[in-house]
Amino acid sequence: MGGGGLDLAAMKKLIALVALALMSQPAFAEDAPKWSLAIHGGAGTLDPAQMTPEKRAAYEADLQAALDAGAKILAGGGDAMDAVKAAIIIMEDSPLFNAGKGAVFTWDGTNELDASIMDGRDRSAGAVAGVKTVKNPILLADTVRTQSEHVFLVGKGAEEFAVSKGFAVMPPEYFATPARREALERLKAEKLSALDVDHKFGTVGAVALDTKGNLAAGTSTGGMTGKRWGRVGDAPLIGAGTYADNRACAVSATGWGEYFIRVGVAHEICARLRAFEEFRALEVEGGEVPAEVLAKAPQQIADSVMADVAQLGGDGGVIVVTPEGQAIFSFNTTGMYRGRATSTGVNEVAIFGGEEKVSATPDH
């Protein structure tokens, strides 16, 4: 070559360096630890016309605070179980959601709280129902998981267990809010159903994947306005409102609990995803399953299970996180208070259908 050009040896060296750089970038992105988080604060027949800018801002702020609390733990290499608890505690402490402070009233004018949590590593689980004195039921559910030989404790027994483990006893007025009391009074005065006054199923929940590849799920609720006779919905039931399995997914549900129990929604979604993964692992003629099919499978499975709920007459929604880091929502209502954040830069909250701005499917 003439002038100031590169000789052949130098050109080959430059090409090799560029090729090496190009090859190393995807490998680094693929090998980088990934994490994912999704949260919900209830689903239902939400009316955009009734959502004032101030009310929307308040919900979005609390959803973002919950999302940030969990995402901070995951981004720092923390545990999925800790991220789930951190996110749910924020929503239990907010009077905007039907869990912990701000829980709906039973027919008798009390607040009865339910919660469950599950670790996808070993499928250990804890749950409580009908507790009236515990500020953060999700923490009591986890204590049942870690400090007892049981999975599910209810009512007075669950509260006695809480005291034995050092939980403070909260007075009834801590949980009560004027809006929830008004809803009960209107239900009784106008002889309405819980669906008429609630408009949404105010359960809160979170699902997470941590950088070590572990999944976790948790759910907490005050149930339905005017509930009687010790009614318990799907939120504290492992397999109905909550499920996590490292081999498949983590799910938290919110909706008309009776129908979610009948379908076994959370476990059903995980079971179908696990079956899909096992089928994909088989050496079948025709080669590997196309990448686009793999990417769409979790959403399609969640939508199919929610369609089953709708066919029976129920409604609500689910949040799902997969081992690959997908964070998805599926709901058959007009809206669901929700949010998601991932290691790929996704960070968003939404209320009504179709408000997501970006995909939450990680690039691989």
Residues belonging to the active site: 203
The closest alpha carbon to 354, from 35, 48, 69, 59, belongs to 48
Write out the two tokens for 195. Answer: 């669906």
Q: Of 212, 320, 219, whose CA–CA distance to 271 is shortest?
A: 320
Tokens of 272: 């179908």
Q: Is 299 exposed, middle or buried (0-12, 13-18, 19+ CB in 10 A)?
A: middle
- Cα dihedral 21, 28, 288, 305, rounded to 10, equals -140
Q: For 28-44, b where at least 16 C-beta lie within 10 A, e where not — what string? A: eeeeeebbbbbbbbbbb
Angstrom distance (rounded) from CA 323 to CA 280: 15
Burial code (b: 16+ CB inside 10 Å, e: under 16) for 248-285 equals bbbbbbbbbbebbbebbbbbbbbbbbeebbeeeeeeee
